[in-house]
Structure 1
Amino acid sequence: MDQDLPTWDDTRAADVFNEHRRLLTSVAYRVLGRWSDAEDVVQDAWLRWSGSDYARIEDPKAFLVTVTTRLAIDQLRKVQTRKESYVGPWLPEPVLTRDGADSSPDAADRVVLDDTVSLAMLLVMETLSPLERAVFVLREAFDYSFAEIAAMLDRTEPAVRQLLVRARNHVHEKRPRYPLDDAKRQSIADRFLAACVGGDVRPLLELLSPEVTLVADGGGVVTAARRPVEGQDHVARFLLGIVDKYAKFMQEGADLRIEVVAGGVNGSPAIVAFLDGKVLYVYTLDLDEDGRIRAVFGMANPEKLEGVRALEV
């Protein structure tokens, strides 16, 4: 019987890990909301895996997801402590959820294209405890059974069910929905950028929900609004002020361009500003059921832009 078991070596171990790397990163990112921390967690998972007795592991995928989830929970507790001293509003790190050259993601990419990866949803999940968040992610985003989650988190099934009920109750009312298809969202993003660049507040107001909010994350590293900007008029004029500032940079000879990345950032349409080919700012649009913009999330902190660096040329 033992002769029929596959043999393990470093190459096979690396192949197995890489086969599941996308899944592990997706789990870690949802639990943490930080791409850089998610990559660190996956690297730590690799170290745990490379030091394991492979022959004793019956299900490598389950083992890797378990290790990654537990490491992410531990890291999340540390991140929550760091947030207490964070300068200005805190936003999850934006991340590309599609290959920019392909608007039709293949099956391997679908793991990151549900609504639990949107910035709006990640912010809602910030209200959960680390365990609640992990249970919610594993169940809602990856459809693991209660028995599987219980084994991963070393909890009983009733305890896992209770954690999920609490998590769902927290997010149910605030959970964002995305009924619009990609073509409509692309159109809205194009119109949004055109309205901003055009400098006329009226078409911009037509695109914004009356209750629209703009949240910018500069982390104290770069200039950004220290408080959310609320209301149609305030948000519209704030956006036009930013575009006017960009226009002045360009007049002074700066290599600055602004482009729409439809559906490519956290599953939502986004506007990206580049300076000298490098990502300067990412604005992600959160849309309501009528296609009006109910939130603009702006990421300027360069330390939190690693997940979109692939856009750079």
Structure 2
Amino acid sequence: MDDFERLRGRLFGIAYRMTGTATDAEEVLQDAWLRWQDVDRTTVRDPDAYLAKVVTNLAIKQLTSARARRETYVGEWLPEPVLTGRAEFDALGPLEVVAERESVSFALLLLLERLTPAERAAYVLHEAFAYGYREVAELIGTSEANARQLGSRASKKLAAEAPHEQPVDRAGWRKLVERFIAAARLGEIEQLEKLLAEDVVSRADSGGKVTAARNVLIGRNRVARYLAGAIQRFGGGIEAYLAEANGGPALVAAGPDGVVAICFIGIGPDGVTDVQFVMNPEKLTFATAQVSRIGGPSDLSW
């Protein structure tokens, strides 16, 4: 097997954690593959390190460019979700332990946006892929001392936002979310409010391409009314399925033509704490392709 194909899963994992979108990660891998075709393989002593370096630096370049584009993005920007938890959804590889799931969690990907591209690279390579700082330095083209400093700064920024997530009680999550969906579909605002934390936050990423709130909504009453209206609009053959995305439970809305929304619902002691809707069609093409590999959305449920 060609070294690139052997390493494809790992390389995609680096690019995805670096850019926050599967679309950008695929573009990075395509560019890396083209470079791999042109290189004299006899001069490459360590294909694993060589390809990791190429992908990392292409991802840094892609992220820098993407952030410039996001300045004109319509509404809230959220990462692009990837379905996980099944052999058919192999883009990120098996997420068998808590640390592996955390490294691709939606919450962490959001927090990684607060880092500089160099800090993000150092953090991802060291924490998610266990590269030593000497190796990190070689991969991103800096000194070991600077790589260590970048990683330290990144860890401190993330720690300040308490990114460590507790394991999700999936049975409890499912029960609460099913009640949440039922109340929203029936427009029972009071019942829905009882399921929400007082300071619940809702974000929706539509890219201006579909109808959705363009600003962050905060507070039980505002969020309840918005969610009731949003979920009731999913009609005409659109069904909701409980599935796994980015290593955690998610709500996937899909119809005959594919996925139309993926929703991450955070739960705390007082109920639902945050609701993150990804609705931009361009950010759902990867998930739709994943669903097509298992025969259709009706096979999503876990």
Could you tell me the TM-score, scaled by structure 2's length?
0.88
One of 286, 291, 297 as aligned partner of 1:311: 291
2:120 is aligned with 1:120 = no
Contact preservation (8 Å) 2:95, 2:247: no
1:200/1:306 CA distance change after superposition, 3 Å: same
Structure-2 residue corresponding to 1:110: 95
Aligned residues: 288
Contact preservation (8 Å) 1:97, 1:113: no
1:236/1:127 CA distance change after superposition, 3 Å: same
Structure-2 residue corresponding to 1:188: 176
Question: How far off is 1:97 after superposition?
Answer: 2.1
Return the alpha-carbon distance in structure 2 between the equivalents of residues 113 and 97 of structure 1.
Answer: 12
One of 72, 75, 93 as aligned partner of 2:62: 75
One of 249, 255, 267 as aligned partner of 1:269: 249
One of 255, 260, 278 as aligned partner of 2:242: 260
Contact preservation (8 Å) 2:134, 2:144: yes
One of 187, 196, 205 as aligned partner of 1:199: 187
User: What letter matches 2:4 in structure 1?
Assistant: F
Contact preservation (8 Å) 1:35, 1:306: no
Larger radius of gyration: 1
Structure-1 residue corresponding to 2:23: 36
2:214 is aligned with 1:216 = no
Structure-2 residue corresponding to 1:5: none
1:185/1:144 CA distance change after superposition, 3 Å: farther
2:273 is aligned with 1:294 = yes
Question: How far off is 1:69 after superposition?
Answer: 0.5
Gaps of 5+ in 1: 1-11
Cα-Cα RMSD: 2.3
One of 232, 256, 259 as aligned partner of 1:279: 259
Contact preservation (8 Å) 1:213, 1:294: yes
Return the alpha-carbon distance in structure 1 between the equivalents of residues 135 and 120 of structure 2.
Answer: 16
Contact preservation (8 Å) 2:265, 2:275: yes
Partner secondary structure for residue 269 of structure 1: strand
User: What letter matches 1:283 in structure 2?
Assistant: C
Deviations 1:237-283 (A, max 9, x none): 2111122333xxx4xxx22212221xx11122211222334211111
Return the alpha-carbon distance in structure 1 between the equivalents of residues 270 and 11 of structure 2.
Answer: 33
Contact preservation (8 Å) 2:21, 2:80: yes
User: What letter matches 1:156 in structure 2?
Assistant: S
Contact preservation (8 Å) 1:185, 1:291: no
Task: Trace 1:12-51 onto structure 2 (pairs within 5 A).
Answer: 12-13=1-2, 16-51=3-38
Return the alpha-carbon distance in structure 2 between the equivalents of residues 172 and 41 of structure 1.
Answer: 29
Could you tell me the TM-score, scaled by structure 1's length?
0.85
1:101/1:130 CA distance change after superposition, 3 Å: closer
Return the alpha-carbon distance in structure 2 between the equivalents of residues 207 and 139 of structure 1.
Answer: 39
Structure-2 residue corresponding to 1:138: 125
Percent of residue pairs bearing the same amino acid type: 38
Partner secondary structure for residue 272 of structure 1: strand
2:146 is aligned with 1:159 = yes
Return the alpha-carbon distance in structure 1 between the equivalents of residues 280 and 87 of structure 2.
Answer: 22
Return the alpha-carbon distance in structure 1 between the equivalents of residues 137 and 277 of structure 2.
Answer: 37
Return the alpha-carbon distance in structure 1 between the equivalents of residues 127 and 13 of structure 2.
Answer: 13
User: What letter matches 1:299 in structure 2?
Assistant: V
1:258/1:108 CA distance change after superposition, 3 Å: closer
User: What letter matches 1:236 in structure 2?
Assistant: A
Return the alpha-carbon distance in structure 2 between the equivalents of residues 291 and 307 of structure 1.
Answer: 34
Deviations 1:164-213 (A, max 9, x none): 11111111121141332433333333333233334333443343222211
Partner secondary structure for residue 233 of structure 2: helix
Question: How far off is 1:100 after superposition?
Answer: 7.7
Return the alpha-carbon distance in structure 1 between the equivalents of residues 158 and 31 of structure 2.
Answer: 30
User: What letter matches 1:164 in structure 2?
Assistant: G
User: What letter matches 1:284 in structure 2?
Assistant: F
Deviations 1:90-113 (A, max 9, x none): 1111111222879xx9x9412894
Question: How far off is 1:81 after superposition?
Answer: 0.5
Question: How far off is 1:297 after superposition?
Answer: 0.8
Partner secondary structure for residue 89 of structure 1: coil
User: What letter matches 1:99 in structure 2?
Assistant: R
